[in-house]
Amino acid sequence: MSTNIILEIPTPNEWMRICRSQLGYYFPKHYSDNKDNIEKNWNALVQSANNGSKLDQALLAKWLLDQDRDEEAVPYMIMVHNKMDFYFDYDLGEFYEYGEAGLPKDLGIALKLYSNPAVLCEDVPSMIKLGQFYEEGLGTPIDMKEAMLWYKEAFDKGDELAGLTIGIRYAQGYHGLKKNKKKALALLKQAAKSSDPEIADIASEWLANKKNW
């Protein structure tokens, strides 16, 4: 069973065509409707998956992940990925990031895997990962401009932690980023009102020490 990752990211002209076929639009309901019968139909599903059925590849991958059988899930996840479907790319990215589920640690591959759902599917957790990778130089040179772009993309989609991170980075001047106290104050004041107590507490602590910025 092949475990080769195809790393080509689709061109802008391909995005709309690919987007319509992504599992994320219909797979969660399909999985919910079928997961209780997967063990009973196992042999038929394996044969169908090996014959190229993306839907059955995804059913097997998701079921195995839910059973904490990550290493067995990986080949089916990669089959789905190699059909230019990015449903499992975040999970594959984490496996490569940490060297888990029988895969080698490879930050370069992890970065590219996170890029697919972030760019094509506007997946917020993947955007956060890209921000972290670019600001810490994981699998790529440090690039605070690119990191802030991805944090802002996530923040614009409602992720409060991303807004807190941007505010702190402007207060710090992190990795050579030009400090911007005005932007830092605005973002941290907003974060201090978060319904998430941890985010609110961190933001409030930074605001209390703003003289040290």
pLDDT along the chain (213 residues), means of 10: 61 63 84 94 96 96 98 96 91 97 96 89 94 97 97 97 97 94 97 97 97 92
Residues 14-45, buried b or exposed e (16+ Cβ, 10 A)?
A: eeeebeeebbeeebeeebeebeeebeeeeeeb
Which pLDDT score, from 0 to 100, does residue 22 have? 79
Tell me if 181 sits within 8 A of 207, measured CB to CB.
no
Which pLDDT score, from 0 to 100, does residue 61 have? 97
Which pLDDT score, from 0 to 100, does residue 12 have? 55
Whole-prediction pTM value? 0.87
CA dist., res. 72 & res. 35, Å (int): 17
